[in-house]
Chains A and B, each alone.
Chain A
Amino acid sequence: MNIQYIGMALMVMLAMAGCANAPAPVEQMKLTSQAIEQAREVGATEDSSDFSLAQAKLIQAQQAMREENYKMARVLAEQAELDARLAEAKAVSGKSQAHIEELNKQIKRLRKRLGEPE
């Protein structure tokens, strides 16, 4: 009897929360965290402004989630996801560029060796 009552009250509360607010962006929060993790894995660091932005916005989004400001949480999390993806792409691009420069250096060295007076 008592338990049933509490259960019903909970359901009403949940329904009210759903009405009063946009749905909680749980999936989006997960996606954003994953995007940040992925960026970190390919070598993005706090030196990258995009990466720092992504991290800061995720923290703000988590705060908004706690405050049940779901609209704000979604906006922040969506932006942070793309900030992180951009940071990831830039990190990969930076590595590719370094690889290209290394290859060019090796090629130059060999050319010089081959071009030396025999």
Chain B
Amino acid sequence: MKGYFFAAPLVMSVALLPGCASSPAIDKTLLDAQLHFDRIKSDSNVLRSAPKDVVRAEETLNKAKQLSGYWGSDEDVRHFAYLSQRYSDIAREHASIRLQEEQATQLQLSLEHLQLQTREHELRLARERGDWLVDQLLSLGTARTERGLVMTLGDVLFSPGDTRLDPSASETVLKLAQFLRINPKREVRIEGYTDDQGDDELNQHLSKQRANAVANALSALGIDPGRLQTVGYGEDYPVASNDTTEHRARNRRVEVVFSDESGNFVPAR
């Protein structure tokens, strides 16, 4: 390369008359190329990103300068000055691409970190919402028992002798459905009970029907029926003796037993 640069002006000096004055247009062209090169030559980022283009920008600039000393070489000077400018611009562009890539890598890391934070944040919110609903359910007559969370829907939620759910039950059932939606792994076993009045078999049937009514209301609210079991216990497992009207009313009930977060129940009675 060195030899070529050395030889080029030598050969040309034979062919062309060496001159010292070049046209103002050529001076301007050379100056432009020089300015482009000056902007990149001391930029460590450019040198790091596109060393070859920087070297070529300098080589072509030097060639243009050398040629400018000879008459009749304007076209060549312009050509090499053009190439030099282009090499400078290309080098600068590659440097900015490199900076952009580094910036993108940093941003990608921040983004992934934020995504993780957001997931944790949302999980916490969901958990809080779940806890809040459990509190709500507890206030609606749910108790923590040895059978897990058990919600008791009292007699008042059914019209006497009727298996249809009373409209006043809708708020409770709505809360229940909301809770089940937020805890998709939890399942419920809906158990119906009666007092000891009347025919055993009929009571058993009635208790099962009432349990089904609650299950139907829940599935109407979009809860997968596969998560809802129903049992009718009739007059078994009274919560009070059947001696007074008041006590008998307490025995007529539906209990909703919740599974744990993984869908496991304490075994049924």
Contacts and interface: CB of A to CB of B under 8 A. Distances in A.
B117 interface: yes
A96 B96 CA distance: 10
A96 to B, nearest CB: 4
Interface in B95-112: 96-97, 100-101, 103-104, 107-108, 110-111
B114 A82 contact: no
B200 to A, nearest CB: 54
Nearest to B78: A75
Interface of A: 75, 78-79, 82-83, 85-86, 89-90, 92-93, 96-97, 99-100, 103-104, 106-107, 110-111, 113-114, 118
Contacts of B114: 107, 110-111, 114
B121 interface: yes
B125 interface: yes
Interface in B71-119: 75, 79, 82-83, 86-87, 89-90, 93-94, 96-97, 100-101, 103-104, 107-108, 110-111, 114-115, 117-118
A114 B79 contact: no
Given A82-B86, A89-B93, A114-B121, A100 B115 contact: no
Contact of B83 (A78, A93, A96): A78
B111 A90 contact: no
A100 B103 contact: yes
A92 B87 CA distance: 16
A78 B121 CA distance: 58
B83 A85 contact: no
Contacts of B83: 78-79, 82
Given A78-B79, A82-B86, A99-B104, A107 B97 contact: no
A25 to B, nearest CB: 13
A85 B100 contact: no
A90 B90 CA distance: 8
Given A99-B100, A99-B104, 13 more contacts: A79-B82, A82-B87, A82-B90, A83-B86, A89-B93, A93-B97, A96-B97, A96-B104, A103-B104, A107-B110, A110-B114, A110-B117, A114-B121
A24 B110 CA distance: 54
A89 B90 contact: yes
